[in-house]
Every structure is written in C-alpha cells, then in structure tokens.
Amino acid sequence: EVTLVESGGGSVQAGGSRRLSCTGYGVPFEESEMGWYRQVPGNECELVASISSDGSSWYADSVKDRFTISQPRGKNTVSMDINNLEPDDTAMYYCALDVVSLIHWQACQAAGRTYWGQGTQVTVSS
C-alpha cells in the first residue's frame, strides 16, 4: 500500500518561508514522478511543482523562482522550499506521486491513478 505523509505547513507572514516535506512508504520512487499540488476551497487543484525520476523539475509560473522542489537520490522523501510567500499562496498543499506522470486534477485527492498525501495547510498573512 502506498502512503504519503506531509509535514511542514503552518502560518507565516508574507515574505517568509517554509519547507514542506513528504515521506513515502511502499512507493516506487525510482520510477515515479512526484510533486506538490495546492487547492483553495472553491478553486481547482493546481500543480505547482514536480520532479521526475531523472531529477528534472517543473514549476508553475505562479511559483517559479520562489519554490524549489528536491528529492535526494535514493531517498523516499521529496521536499519543497517555499520562499517569499504571498497571501495568494495560502492553500492546502498535497504531496502526490504518479508512476506515469502528474496530470491536471480538478480536485486534489481525486480518485484515480495518482497517489495523494493527506495535505498540509500553509497560511500566509499580509
């Protein structure tokens, strides 16, 4: 059974930083794409960053140059440093894994081929 456990969320003032971490159990890390989605109630789920098994990363324009995703080779963890936070970054952040590739989901944690963590809330105050 695949389990993803996130940590690192919390409340922070605008301009601050957080590190989100995700530890996976029972996952084929070396064959998967992992990433972070976020969702605000009433809005669609947004893929903000991903990292492939070859180490290549991708970022949404809204977080480029502020967020950095990383995955130590051979480790079952993926982290994301989120810097220079803005109030619009307030959301529930979900770690996700897909053995093919991460795709668009209207709702995070939707049933399907993607594995999801339980989510960690990040709240940014102005």
Residue 50 banded pLDDT, cuts 50, 70, 90: very high
pLDDT tens readout for residues 104-113: 999 999 988 8
Q: What is the pLDDT of residues 59-114, one digit of tens each?
A: 999 999 999 999 987 778 999 999 999 999 999 999 999 988 899 999 999 988 89
pLDDT-above-90 percentage for the chain: 77
Q: What is the DSSP string of the chain?
A: --EEEEE--EEEETT--EEEEEEEES--GGG-EEEEEEE-TTS--EEEEEE-TTS-EEE-TTTTTTEEEE--TT-SEEEEEE-S--GGG-EEEEEEEESS-----SSTT-SSS-EE---EEEEEE-
